Amino acid sequence: MTPTEQALSPALSPASSSSDDAPRLRLALADYLTLGNALCGFLAVWSLVAAKSAHAASGAAGPLPSSAVAAVVGLLLVAAALDLLDGRVARKLGGSGMGAELDNLADVISFGFAPAFLFVVWESQAGGAGRFAVLAGGAVLLAVIVRLARFSCQPPEASSFTGLPCPFGAMAVVTVVLIDPPAPVAIAVVLLISWLMVSRVSYPKPRGRKAYGVLTVLAAGVALVTAWGMGLPAGQAMVYAMSALVLGFVVVVPFLTAAGRRSGAGFPGD
């Protein structure tokens, strides 16, 4: 076909050209996992509101019971697992033209609004910093939105994310709630997490063996939080250990990634 024919062919057969180029707009299996992610985020918010209402109606003072917080955290951990699985399923079985947009919308719910709302509710129940807690929660939500928008505009990188990935940022915010530090410390840490999500700091992508490792950690997190919520022995200590691992990942992994790049060895486990 000559260049002239190539230029004229779209005008001669617009239907065939548009049908070939149109993205698939039917839901694929990976999209259902993404919708499950969004549903978990919604259920986490609903569970938190219901627990707060019941707590207020009972006339009880102080923070929410651990079982209520455990339900919220467990749902967010499941959302993070679904977020990891939907990408792997899409690469193996194929996705739809809506996949990337659905993923971003679901992430805003589960890793932006839900953890930000959890942090604000926790601070209000603890009698903390009030408006400053709302500002910190708003910073989490806005950081997730900006990070997702920036990610959509960037070419994919082979081995790392630019900025802290939203699911890990959400889990880091959750760990702040679980550790229950003084309000000024909590707000400072949450603001730092928000900055890391929109920063240029590199974090490795969980692919191959690392992806299964992350899924294992998430499953262990659900089990530990469940044990804590049920009041089992050593549940509090196990939750503190899990929280320390998450915060350690957020802080230490960028240095390991940078060191691996300088030495040319890559991140351990690649």
Range of the domain at 39: 27-260
Render pLDDT for 186-242 as a digit per residue (tens, 0 to 9).
999 999 999 999 998 888 777 767 777 777 877 878 887 877 877 777 777 878 887
The amino acid present at 99, given as its one-letter code, is G
The predicted pLDDT at position 129 comes to 66
Considering the domain boundaries, does residue 1 fall inside one?
A: no
Q: Does the pLDDT of residue 150 top 50, yes or no?
A: yes
Residue 138 lies in a domain: yes
Flag whether 72 is in a domain. yes
Residues 6+ apart with CB under 8 A from 105: 38
Tokens of 124: 């209000």
Distance CA 79, CA 27 (A): 19
The residue to which tokens 């990610």 are assigned = 151
Number of domains in the chain: 1
Measured between alpha carbons, how far apart are the two ends of the chain, in Å? 45
Q: Per-residue pLDDT tens for 9-65? A: 444 444 444 455 556 678 889 999 999 999 999 999 999 999 989 988 888 777 788
Max Cα-Cα span within the chain: 80
What CATH number corresponds to the domain at position 152? 1.20.120
Does any domain span residue 20? no
Give 64's DSSP letter: P
In a domain, 265, yes or no: no
Task: Quote the pLDDT of residue 1.
Answer: 46
d(Cα 82, Cα 246) in Å, to the nearest integer?
18
- Residue appearing with tokens 């707060």: 52
Average pLDDT value for residue range 83-109? 88
List phi, psi (to 5°) of 63. Answer: -70, 165
Write out the H or E segment, with its range, that includes residue 160. Answer: strand 160-162
133 located within any domain: yes
